[in-house]
Structure 1
């Protein structure tokens, strides 16, 4: 769902991961996840509470970069857009962003080399609002939000009692206004209002700023695992849904990949 991972819950998850990284598995839940934690440690690293883990993997379908700020899905949606924008400024590339509560995946066709300094620049909290505005400037999010702004402003006709205008016609009208304003009046106040609402509401700009500030104070750990790790697996599976064409269903392919990943996990513990 869209319920965000709260700051308190994110901190608690970080502490649990840090405990696992230090070999502490207290409680049945942690013990049941121990094989996956150990597989994560073998393939990559379990991020500690004061670390931000970044994994980069080159696969047949492209180059995958995984970053785990643990900021919540809504903040990560904004961060994914900002990272894609900043990365495209450094290196011309087509970038696909996928997010969940724990992390962000950026997928490109060709490998992109980034050292710690490069990642620090991408995760810099400075100019975050400007970059968010730039990233949503032509996005579908801004277009969708403009429909509500146009309705409230009276630009679209809602019809009369007993004879309403169809939602398709209302959408076409608001999209026409959006395109005309974007092309001929880019400083239009209604456009600016729609973009601000996206930045502050849908993308949680203030939460995103806090997430980036926290990342700046943590140690970056860059790892190049040989295969997709347990932490990265949910993101990779979601990106595969959007980008891969196959005769198999998405669920079947993910199930097979999960079985292969679990087969690599330790089965017994002394």
Structure 2
């Protein structure tokens, strides 16, 4: 390795994909500071990737168990938007293949908006099928948020093709004739549910960005309909919009008669 330049070594290090690669050990004896810095950086990158991979495969345990049983089509289902004062509740349903390898797919709440936006199209490209269910504020007001969420989840599952043989869902029961595994905090325990949570979150955030242009006073671009201080102040000053959930407190107190 001593006959290689530092830039050449950096190029070689970029191809190393395992902490057990002999090249890492060989470079440990290189006295050049530039080489040691490049080696340290690459080892750190590999350690981060290894940690991501370990956590990823741990979240794959439910899917792997079903696949081992010969159950090939498994859907993860999750929702976003149960708590906001405005906008719809959105559910995502995703069926992923056995070779799904987007290591960064995790509970959408643990990811930055930028990372979610990057992952959503990649999930769509990799998935066997993706469904989106939307129940607006009017449905929420009519049937309550819990039932609206169940309806959104059913709508998302009904879009899947092929029909899933099993569903992994985040702590809900969906009204479909398919066996279901209900997981508390399922979006952090199942890759399929994690993927569904990202799809739903990105979709709903896009909707709320559109509403932000229509109703700029309510700051939806930053709060996605949740009851922030600025949002509540706008409610008090301007009243509820056509997308507010009038059955939710404190929205009902600001509905203009």
TM tier, smaller: under 0.3
**TM-score, normalization by structure 1:** 0.27
- Larger relative contact order, structure 1 or 2 (CA cutoff 8 Å, min sep 6): 1
Larger of the two Rg values belongs to structure: 2
